[in-house]
Structure 1
Amino acid sequence: MTRMRRAANWPYRLSVALLFLILGGYIVWPMLSVLAQTFLTNPGELPDGARAFTWEHWRQALKPSNLRALGASLVLSAVSTALAAALGGALAALYSRWDFPGRSVCVAAAMLPLTLPPLVGVFAFWRMLNETGLIPRVLFDWFGVRFSLERGWAGVYLVHGYSFSVYFFIMLSAAIGGLDGSTFEAARNLGASRARVFFRVALPQLKPALVGGAILVFMTSMASFTAPYIYVNARDVLTLNIVRAFENNRAGEASILCLFMTASSFVLLWAMMAWTERTKHYSANKGAAPRPRRVVAKPARIALAALGATISLLLAAPHLYIALESFVRPGTWFLQTFPPAYTLDNYKEIFRQPDFLRPAFVSLKASAAAALGVAGFGLLAAWLVARKRFPGRAAAAILAMLPWALPGTVIAINLLEAFARPSIWTFGSRLHGTVAILALAYFIRYIPLAYRSTLASLEAMDPNLELAAMNLGASRARTLGRVTVPLIAPGLLAGTLLAFVTALGEFVSSILLYVSETMPISVRIYDLLRQGYEKAAAYSVLLMLLIAAALVFSAKALKTGGPKA
């Protein structure tokens, strides 16, 4: 009997082994390779290329400026998480509860931050809101109001709140779509008030999505570089101090600062995991999810439609500004409120280049490969962590989220250090200078997106449904394919979508890993920024259209990917 049980468990054992093999080879090993450098002297300090043990990097890392940077990054992450939760949660609740004219357009507009890559988005906000930007000019010329947002923490909070709200919106929308409507009816029939139904019935079912969104946004804010660099470049922030240390040949100190960032995220992950484990809630999904309530009163319909249109316009403002500047003739728009001359030359110059499509193809290939990888690995890791008990389960849950706590720069350096030569982890191939190293960097960076969103769906799903299927004779594989995956499909597809569209605009790690033949579209935009913002804006429009096409395709998949009521 024991031998038969072991034979039946071989897929489970193989899955656990594969999980730790991937985590160990592509996350732990690169991090340990860099960690070892923190105890060695810098290359070139000793003759003949020798290196010796030292504590000097740790003494440098603990200086007051770095401790201030740690505190500033923690505050930045907390405030950014609160702002993103407020905006994304409000939009998810509004669009999921009420049905009004233009609602589908408003839902699409809520996804617009996804189509704005970080590099492009930060520059759009800065150029739009600085002293000579379009909005300050309009406010002064039309209303006599002086306003500008050129430097300071408010700019960082604005960019983060706008950009990261989409994580909460997607996760909460998927979670609301999976709510069990019968539990609401039962609670109301038993005399519970609307407030009590929300706090005691709805909120526990939404908690995994809220926790997942909070973790992603907190860790994303900790690792954010572009917005702090533009708005608070003179301040001490962890990501800025890491780059300064690298630029001044203090790689050991930079690696230790990355450890500070990782440790902060580790504490958050541990606290969130302990809280969710103590207050775990399952939904049997026996009834249909509550549908948006159709607004009948005409004044209310008009008010909601106007509110949705206003929110959508504000969310589209950076995109509209980029599109406007892409048609501006270079060197003509300085002090005027609106551009004095428009042209298609910026687009013509891009299309005249013989290889103008190569960066787009490189980004598509690398992002698609990474998205497929994170979908498969995210499903595997989330299912094992949520449904199985095995040695190292807590460590696996933390390691699956750790890449999100590291800046793209650090992940790129980890890959260059660990995979400089062919090895078993590269299947005997040399990755440097290939699209494969970009895909691997994106895969590692965005594992947490698919993993966390899938885990949130699994934690909200009642495991008794799987047990019932197996008791009726279904095999584990059939139960996974016919019961589990259809029920968690919205969460899995949402995470995969986030990974794909975010990888399309990934810049920080790409700029360290590309060569001329593998230049992705984000690096091409950066290259054009140095020649003039108008051409970069034109190329940015192409990138946004590419991401928008991916979103439309994924939205159709999300509509058909969930369980049918």
Structure 2
Amino acid sequence: MKKSAAQRLLRIGPGGLLLRAGLLWVIFALLIYPNLNMITSIFYQDGHFTAEIIGKLFSSERAIRSLVNSFILAISMVVTVNIVGILLVLFTEYLDIKGASFLKLGYLSTLIYGGIVLSTSYKFVYGSNGMVTNLLLRFVPDMNTQWFTGYGAVLFVMTFACTSNHIIFLTNAIRGIDYQTVEAAKNMGASSLKIFIRVVLPTLKPTLFAVTILTFITGLDAMSAPLVLGGPNFQTINPVIMTFAKSSYSQDIAALLAVILGIATVLLLAIMNKFEKNGNYISISKVKSKIQKQKISNPTLNIIVHALAYLLFLIYVVPIALVILYSFSNSQAIRSGSLNLNDLTMDNYFNIFTSAEAFRPFTISMIYSLSAAILVVILTLIASRIVHKDKSKVTMVYEYGMLIPWLLPGTLIALGLMTTYDSPQFIMFNHVLIGTSTIMLIAYIIIKIPFSLRMIKSSFASVDTSLEEAARSMGASPLYTMLKVILPVILPTLLSVMTLNFNSLLSEYDLTVLLYHPLMQPLGPVIKAASDESASINAQVMLFVYSVLLMLISSLALWLVYGKKLSFKNRKY
């Protein structure tokens, strides 16, 4: 045993050992130690264990209410998001709807904008000065202009913001249905509704269960929509954590709330994993026939279904269209919530590209996002190579350790870094991270490690081992083999992961608001500040321009990933 271990060390070499040691440091110093330290600091004070913080939490009415609201939102979203998501997939993939391809473009709009940008765009459409509110005032002059706030507004926005998983995953599930089973049910006289309930829906159960769990977790972790639209009467856990974390008196309550949120997330993921392992979802058909769209024979029902499909399309598209139009409008039009096509101008875009101050948040976000995207790909590429080549139990530590951020909400990660590295720590070479420009970059890298690791690790399965063996037999070093043989094969995946990470970090808010340097304010906090009622009109004008620029970059990223075939299609996960 000792001999084999020694041989393994010799085979790894000094460079390999150094890389492995570096990865262990990353896992412990950034992913494990900050969170353990935060949990310890909550329950272990002045040299002894204490549960005082639990009593402090239950004495805070605001904290308890936020917990209750988070679970109310999550449970409500399970119902509404599933209903809307299933309808979207039926309209585009299962039912014969005129203009289905056109409708799908609108339904996919949430892929190019989300988070704080999406929430603020809905606020400017339905809020007190929004176009919809101004239109309703013509018919109901005495209506409350603050009608689009609270639980209903948050649930509405979250419902239409979180159907992307249904569109992506349920679409594949629908296309995987064996049409012969549908035909057999028809021949036995089953109605269209019965076929859907008894034949189609059971096939979708595993996918539906997975997206349901993800939807529930999204509801628990909600930040942007409750923060922008929740108002004083409906705040969920994450916005309250953000508020409490800014005060030294309530920071421990914020930490405990984040821990509770993390525990709930871990439990839900464990439940999902258990059901997936116990499930038996096997198609008995060896040769599947492609699903064919079903015509709606009842004329009245056909009209109703078409009307509903296009109504949902408008709900998705109108906020984007108005954001784009407002970005070309003058300040008076934005203030009044009205639009005049004759007053459209390019001045807003000219101002942002010619003003260093206006473009500065965009530049900062670009630099942070690009830096994090590149660094996390390099880090996970090294880890994926080690895990792929060495199947020992020791290397499993790297894989499972680097998946930890998937189990934790962003606020918990941010608070862990804040409470741990606000003073010199030996594990961080006695450097203080709080108040520096690097702590947010570190957090960005942390939250993108799990996704990047899984995608890049799967790409190594596509590398022909004979190529590597041939290079080794010709005397090529491991580094040369990696750079000249393996890297060109997996480069499309690396570029895809880098692009998607860059895209998602541009308008990141949940971590950013807690960790950004005051002199280096990125887009997320700027957009949130512009959505406040007290924001200046110039800030609101810039918000629309920022939103359009972000949507353009997101669209370009999607085109690079899917249009240029740099996708994960046919990869094994």
TM-score scaled to structure 1, two decimals? Answer: 0.72
Output the CA distance in 2 between the equivalents of 1:310 and 1:109: 11
Rounded to whole Å, the distance in 2 between the matches of 1:283 and 1:23 is 40
Match of 2:170 in 1: 172
Structure 1 residue 120: Cα displacement: 2.6
Q: Give the structure 2 partner of residue 223 of structure 1.
A: 221
Amino acid at match of 1:442: Y
Alpha carbons 1:359, 1:518 under 8 Å: kept:
yes
Match of 2:555 among 543, 548, 553: 548
Distance in structure 2 (CA, Å) of the matches to 1:338 and 1:398: 52
Q: CA deviation at 1:266?
A: 1.9
Identity of aligned residues (%): 21
Contact in 1 for aligned 2:70/2:220 (Cα 8 Å): yes
CA-CA distance at 1:554 after TM superposition: 1.9
Shift of 1:31: 0.8
User: How many angstroms does 1:546 deviate by?
Assistant: 1.7
Q: What is the 5 A alignment of 1:105-120? A: 105-120=102-117
> 8 Å contact 1:258–1:406 — kept in the other structure?
yes
**Match of 1:352, as an amino acid?**
T
| Change in CA separation of 1:508 and 1:123 when aligned onto 2, cut-off 3 Å | same
Q: Letter of the aligned partner of 1:124 in structure 2?
A: S
1:445 is aligned to 447
* Partner SS state of residue 519, structure 1: coil
Q: CA deviation at 1:356?
A: 4.8
1:35 is matched with 39
Query: Shift of residue 361 of structure 1?
Result: 4.0
Secondary structure of 1:506's aligned partner:
coil
Counterpart residue number, 1:127: 124
How far does residue 503 in structure 1 lie from its aligned partner after superposition?
Answer: 1.4
Of the structure 1 ranges 158-167 and 414-423, higher mean CA displacement relative to structure 2 is found in 414-423
Alpha carbons of structure 1 residues 3 and 35: separation in structure 2 relative to 1, 3 Å = same
Write the distance in 2 (CA, Å) between the matches of 1:494 and 1:286: 33
Contact 1:39-1:252 at 8 Å conserved across structures: no
Task: List runs of 5+ in structure 1 lacking aligned partners.
Answer: 42-49, 459-464, 478-487
* Counterpart-to-counterpart distance in 2, 1:380 and 1:85: 36
Q: How does 1:301-340 map to 2 (within 5 A)?
A: 310-331=311-332, 338=339
Q: Write out aligned runs for 1:70-219 (5 A).
A: 70-97=67-94, 103-141=100-138, 149-173=147-171, 179=176, 197-199=199-201, 202-203=203-204, 207=206, 209-219=207-217
CA offsets 1:476-497 (integer angstroms, 9 cap, x no match): x9xxxxxxxxxx9999999876
Q: CA deviation at 1:551?
A: 1.9
2:477 match: none
Once the 2 structures are TM-superposed, how far is the Cα of residue 189 of structure 1 from its aligned partner? 7.8
- 1:509 shift after superposition: 1.8
In 1, are the aligned partners of 2:440 and 2:515 still within 8 Å (CA)?
yes
Query: Which letter does structure 1 place at the counterpart of 2:561?
Result: S
Q: Which amino acid aligns with 1:542?
A: L
1:262 corresponding residue in structure 2: 262
Deviation at 1:77, TM superposition (A): 1.3
Alignment of 1:505-520 (within 5 A): 505-515=507-517, 518-520=520-522
Distance 2:546 2:159 in 1: 25
The one-letter code matched in structure 1 to 2:403 is: A
CA distance in 2, matches of 1:535, 1:401: 37
Which amino acid letter does the alignment assign opposite residue 400 of structure 1? Answer: L
Higher alpha-carbon deviation: 488-497 or 437-446:
488-497
Q: Distance in 2 between matches of 1:289 and 1:145?
A: 58
- SS of 2:321's equivalent? helix
Instruction: Indicate how the Cα distance of structure 1 residues 296 and 93 shifts in structure 2: closer, same or farther if over 3 A, else same.
Output: closer
Question: 1:105, 1:423 → 2: CA distance?
Answer: 56
For 1:523 and 1:117, locate their aligned partners in 2 and report how far apart those are by CA, in whole Å.
Answer: 14
Tell me the amino acid that sits aligned with residue 278 of structure 2. Answer: R
Q: Is the 8 A contact 1:122 1:226 kept in 2?
A: yes
Residue 24 of structure 2 corresponds to residue 26 of structure 1 = no
Match of 1:531 among 530, 536, 539: 536
Quick check: 1:130–1:150 contact (8 Å CA) kept in 2?
yes
Distance in 2 separating the partners of 1:241 and 1:369:
30
What is the aligned partner in structure 1 of residue 236 from structure 2?
Answer: 237
Higher CA-based Rg: 2
Paired amino acid for 2:161: S
RMSD over aligned CA atoms reads 5.6
- Deviates further, 280-289 or 159-168: 280-289
Structure 1 pair 94–318 and aligned structure 2 pair: CA distance change class (3 A): same
Q: Which residue number in structure 2 is paired with residue 60 of structure 1?
A: 56
Alpha-carbon contact 1:401-1:448 (below 8 Å) kept: yes
Please identify, of 527-536 and 92-101, the stretch whose mean Cα deviation from structure 2 is larger: 92-101
Separation (CA, whole Å) in 1 of partners of 2:133 and 2:447: 37
The equivalent of 1:253 in structure 2 is 253
Q: Distance in 2 between matches of 1:23 and 1:544?
A: 34
Specify the code of the residue in structure 1 equivalent to 2:268: L
CA distance in 2, matches of 1:310, 1:412: 40
The farther-off stretch of 219-228 and 158-167 is 219-228
Preserved CA contact (<8 Å) 2:348 2:542 = yes
3-state DSSP class of the match of 1:38? helix
Deviations 1:504-548 (A, max 9, x none): 110232233333664323334345553321222222222222222
Corresponding residue for residue 273 of structure 1: 273
Q: Which amino acid aligns with 2:54?
A: W
Kindly tell me: are residues 374 and 74 of structure 1, through their superposed partners in 2, closer, same or farther at Cα, counting changes over 3 Å? farther
Using the TM superposition, give the Cα deviation of residue 407 of structure 1 relative to its aligned residue in structure 2, in angstroms: 4.0
Check the 8 A contact 2:380/2:456 in 1, yes or no.
no
| Contact in 1 for aligned 2:96/2:296 (Cα 8 Å) | no
Which deviates more, 159-168 or 144-153?
Answer: 144-153
Q: C-alpha distance in 1, partners of 2:407/2:90?
A: 27
Distance 1:251 1:370, change over 3 A: same
| Residues 145 and 501 of structure 1: CA distance in aligned 2, closer, same or farther (over 3 Å) | farther
| In 2, Cα distance between equivalents of 1:6 and 1:99 | 65
AA aligned to 2:40 is A
CA distance in 1, matches of 2:199, 2:5: 44
3-state SS of 1:111 partner: helix
User: Which piece of structure 1 moves more, 420-429 or 167-176?
Assistant: 420-429
Q: Distance in 1 between matches of 2:282 and 2:340?
A: 56
CA-to-partner distance for each residue in 1:115-161, whole Å, 9 max, x for gaps? 33422322222232234421132245379996863222111101111
Identify if the C-alpha distance between structure 1 residues 350 and 31 changes in structure 2 by more than 3 Å, giving closer, same or farther: same
Once the 2 structures are TM-superposed, how far is the Cα of residue 242 of structure 1 from its aligned partner?
Answer: 2.2
Number of residue equivalences: 533
- 1:320 CA displacement: 1.8
Corresponding residue SS for 1:563: coil
Structure 2 stretches lacking a partner, 5+ long: 472-489
Once the 2 structures are TM-superposed, how far is the Cα of residue 276 of structure 1 from its aligned partner?
Answer: 1.1
Offset, 1:67: 3.7
Question: Deviation at 1:36?
Answer: 2.7
